[in-house]
Amino acid sequence: MALHIHEAWILLFVLPGLVTPAAINHEDYPADEGDQTSSNDNLIFDDYRGKGCVDDSGFVYKLGERFFPGHSNCPCICTEDGPVCDQPECPKIHPKCTKVEHNGCCPECKEVKNFCEYHGKNYKILEEFKPSPCEWCRCEPSNEVHCVVADCAVPECVNPVYEPEQCCPVCKNGPNCFAGTTIIPAGIEVKVDDCNICHCHNGDWWKPAQCSKRECQGKQAL
């Protein structure tokens, strides 16, 4: 009996030395949740759904709190369903705006070009110019060009001509009218043939001349 007790004590001292770390099954001793997370290379963020909202910088906001998700976003209210953001009706950007900033809820125009474009040329604000002899134009502060076209009077002749750098036609030989196919000057009677004397209507230069028959000259009765 004493022999068996002595052998049992020997086994108790020898067995712990035979148990190595490789013999321990880690499944029997699960690691803490914190240890598992720290061994993962990917960061795991907390889930704030239904409890709060997170902005672009990682700041957490409580339910009901007003915040800006990012520097260029509209203000939002944190709700259980996530951010509910304002959607204002932003003013339209000027079509000639050359610099737009998105630093707030609505985009802003910071620079509008200070010149006008007209037929491929640039003009300064309030600059006046004549693109043609009949046009007078000005570059308005709105970057738009407003033009006035000359209203020419009806010429007092049937053969007006256009001179260089002049808008309206001119009667170089004075008022006149047609007597048949012949142009006669206004203000005098003109004998257009052996039998007819004509003159222009007073002021109505576009009308045919008034003619009257006179005794024919140069013709003798046979």
Region(s) of the chain under CATH 2.10.70: 51-83, 113-147
Q: Using alpha carbons only, how large is the chain's radius of gyration in Å?
A: 52
- pLDDT at position 129: 94
Low-confidence ranges of the chain (pLDDT < 70): 1-50, 71-72, 217-222
Q: Which CATH number fits domain 113-147: 1.10.3470, 2.60.40, 3.40.50, 2.10.70?
A: 2.10.70
- pLDDT at position 219: 52
Q: Cβ distance 195 to 214 under 8 Å?
A: yes
Task: Provide the token pair at 27.
Answer: 């499944």
- pLDDT at position 127: 94
The residue type found at 204 is D
Q: Which fold has domain 51-83?
A: Complement Module; domain 1 (2.10.70)
From the list 160, 168, 163, the residue with the least C-alpha distance to 135 is 168
pTM to 2 decimal places: 0.37
- pLDDT at position 9: 40
